[in-house]
Amino acid sequence: MAKESQKRFLLRLDEGLFKRISDAADADGRSINAYIVQVLSKAAPAGNWEQRQLIGRAIPGKELDVKSGLVLVAGIYYRYLLESPEKPDKAAKYTIIESHGNILTLKKI
């Protein structure tokens, strides 16, 4: 990461938490700063709401409406595409592997 794109800030930690972070950073072979950046990056993933909340979610095949091409997920109707060119299997489960706007790509699991 270039220095121009970095932001510095002060972080206050109690000694016990600092020790745990220091030990974890040592075990991971990272500096304390690099370790904290890694932890925060995992905790605050990039992407839109759908990508953060829906990717990896399992959906029963019976929820896929073949006529309309829609599926209800988290209270919202989305268009869906299947990863493989086949008709939806009502007995199967699918996982969301991609999200673009109101279109979800599903993979049979």
Q: 65: number of CA atoms within 13 Å, CB side?
A: 10
Structure tokens at 94: 């699918």
Chain segment 67-99, per-residue pLDDT in tens = 999 999 888 899 999 998 888 999 999 999 988
Classify 52 as helix, strand or coil: helix
CB atoms within 10 A of CB 64: 21
Classify 51 as helix, strand or coil: helix
Chain segment 2-35, per-residue pLDDT in tens = 556 888 889 999 999 999 999 999 998 999 999 9
Question: What does pTM read for this prediction?
Answer: 0.54
CA distance 56 to 53: 8
Does residue 1 carry a pLDDT above 50?
no
Chain segment 39-70, per-residue pLDDT in tens = 887 776 666 556 667 888 899 999 999 999 99
